[in-house]
Structure 1
């Protein structure tokens, strides 16, 4: 069956949205006015910018991990249909929205509703990605010699964990916003490690496992 859209166009459009969202994150890091500053006030200004820088790094890694997963999924595809495009559009909408809660948590990171909303945004984004993944698997839109049933099960478990971690972290904000924030930071760091998809599809350089 013919693909609903050229795969190269599909990938290029998606990559563009990811790139724009990652670039927008840095806009919230404002350069302080240090024209009349002393060494002490300059240090204070940098400390004040710390939460914005941390939220930028965290969200950049979050979007980066999602892009890596999206890229791996793309290399499994043999064709796309309209439903894939629709789910992917919703995913890209979520990706493009991430700079907003990132700006909020950078400015108001001690407020519980803000901390929770950040995690819920990332959790929902992960759920949409999983919807895309499971639809592709269920409709047999993938085609790769190494994509056997065992691989699909392992990759699915790896993928499901992403929104679950963020949901747990967001709920923890009800009792401890600091712990919640730490988990937000650690989750993308964990998912930066080579996934089962990378190992199974041979996307790793020699010597990496």
Structure 2
């Protein structure tokens, strides 16, 4: 078996990530004219843009979340050298959730200013939870006893990454709980999670001196 036979899977996955992140932009529709078709003045345009903050905040949150997921996907496939049918199936489920993200994002935009209506927020945070859970399943399936990893991989480092990835689904459960209480707060919490996972060195990630040269620093998802 070749040392690296996941190239097609990675290329297909990159394409799906690109499509999902592009679909988010299609929902951004900023007003530029009033009901009569007259162009808005400077002050009116700035006010109209500001009034679109729910849409822009949801876009930024989903964009960063998909971007961080792509980064993590890229990193784990530095270690995953082989594939089989089960791995491909788990990856397809993950990609299905990734490309679905624009749907709850667009729905959340319509409901974010109605905190008492939390179904959209629950669907949004629930999608992220399912995504983090599926990502964990993908990694754990591939890394179990190193069956789909490279021959020279350090299993202590692999186990460290597995422990870190447990953190992702747990915090998204918190996001779900917040979504049940307050829709805007849940969106802000999801944005903070995306920023946290993007940080290079956090308590849940190995510092530079702790990293194994064969296992680059990993994010929690």
Counterpart for residue 134 of structure 2: 128
Counterpart for residue 143 of structure 1: 150
Please state which structure has a larger fraction of its residues in helix: 1
The answer to which of 111-120 and 20-29 deviates more is 111-120
Instruction: Say what the alpha-carbon RMSD is for the aligned residues.
Output: 2.3
The unaligned stretches of length 5 or more in structure 1 are: 205-209
Cα distance change on mapping 1:150 and 1:203 into 2, 3 Å: closer
2: distance between equivalents of 1:108 and 1:62? 20
Q: Secondary structure at the match of 1:167?
A: helix
Q: Secondary structure at the match of 1:173?
A: helix
The CA deviation at 1:163 is 2.0
Counterpart for residue 107 of structure 1: 110
The answer to which of 132-141 and 119-128 deviates more is 132-141
Q: Aligned pair count?
A: 202
Cα distance change on mapping 1:143 and 1:53 into 2, 3 Å: same
The answer to which of 186-195 and 31-40 deviates more is 31-40
Counterpart for residue 171 of structure 1: 177
Q: How does the TM-score come out when normalised to structure 1?
A: 0.87
Q: How does the TM-score come out when normalised to structure 2?
A: 0.83
Q: Does 1:23 align with 2:22?
A: yes
Q: Secondary structure at the match of 1:174?
A: helix
Cα distance change on mapping 1:118 and 1:197 into 2, 3 Å: farther
Counterpart for residue 55 of structure 1: 58
The unaligned stretches of length 5 or more in structure 2 are: none
